[in-house]
């Protein structure tokens, strides 16, 4: 338990470091600092995937969410590492090394829990079933992405669904889990995280994350 607690913390720190690199670059273009972008935007101004704002729940929920994202993330970063924007390519290449470990770790846990006890298997399947509807959004390019994809700057997320699904099916087979059916998908109607339409969970996350800088906006640390 202690080892996994440390591993989860390290993954969080990796993602935080990556977020800072992306926000710093975005801030140079946007004219706002990374702190302004992180701490002083409302939930409707964020463009993150709905999947990553879902609550932890039990440990199966946490692992299912992390794995589904990690398996997508590693493919996206591999594409971005060849971006025609040299800054994007450099950030992606650095992050890719870390995320390869993330997907290795989370996939091992999916297998361990899925092919474990009846209880762990049931919870892992239930977590996957509940989160699956958020995975469709990962493979939909919106109007702001398509010009960047055509210019060789952004990753073609729609083309990544086939390899992503192949990887997921391979891990789930070893984990004795059933891949849920693609029924209704959140965000498929053009109203999802990429358009600033979020679940209530993001507001709770932001309230905790932003309370200190908003209370003391002139603080420096």
Give the pLDDT score at 120.
98
Domains in the chain, CATH or no CATH each = 14-46+199-221 (no CATH), 56-197 (1.20.1260.10)
Q: Which tokens belong to 114? A: 């899925």
* Residues 172, 124, 160, 69, Cα dihedral to 10°: -140
Q: Sign of the CA dihedral 78, 80, 86, 88?
A: negative
Helices 161-174, 86-114: crossing angle, 10 deg rounding = 30
For the chain, the 3-state helix, strand and coil shares in percent, each to the nearest 5, are 70, 0, 30
Give the pLDDT score at 219.
81
Give the pLDDT score at 166.
98
Question: Token pair 């390899």 is at which residue?
Answer: 163
| Predicted confidence pLDDT, tens digits, the chain (221 residues) | 888 889 999 999 999 999 999 999 999 998 999 999 999 999 999 999 999 999 999 999 999 999 999 999 999 999 999 999 999 999 999 999 999 999 999 999 999 999 999 999 999 999 999 999 999 999 999 999 999 999 999 999 999 999 999 999 999 999 999 999 987 788 777 789 999 999 999 999 999 999 999 999 888 76
């Amino acid at each position: 338990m202690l080892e996994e607690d440390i591993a989860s913390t390290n993954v969080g720190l990796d993602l935080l470091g990556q977020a800072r690199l992306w926000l710093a670059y975005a801030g140079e273009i946007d004219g706002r600092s990374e702190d302004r972008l992180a701490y002083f935007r409302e939930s409707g101004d964020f463009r993150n995937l709905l999947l990553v704002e879902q609550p932890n729940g039990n440990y199966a929920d946490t692992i299912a969410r992390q794995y589904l994202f990690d398996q997508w993330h590693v493919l996206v970063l591999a594409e971005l590492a060849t971006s025609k924007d040299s800054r994007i390519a450099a950030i992606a290449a650095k992050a890719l090394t870390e995320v390869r470990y993330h997907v290795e770790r989370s996939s091992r846990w999916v297998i361990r829990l899925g092919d474990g006890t009846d209880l762990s298997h049931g919870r892992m399947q239930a977590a996957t079933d509940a989160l699956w509807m958020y995975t469709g959004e990962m493979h939909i390019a919106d109007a702001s992405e398509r010009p960047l994809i055509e210019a060789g700057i952004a990753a073609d997320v729609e083309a990544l669904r086939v390899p992503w699904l192949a990887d997921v099916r391979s891990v789930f087979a070893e984990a004795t889990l059933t891949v849920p059916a693609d029924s209704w998908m959140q965000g498929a109607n053009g109203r999802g995280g990429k358009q600033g339409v979020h679940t209530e969970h993001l507001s709770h996350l932001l309230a905790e994350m932003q309370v200190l800088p908003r209370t003391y906006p002139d603080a420096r640390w």
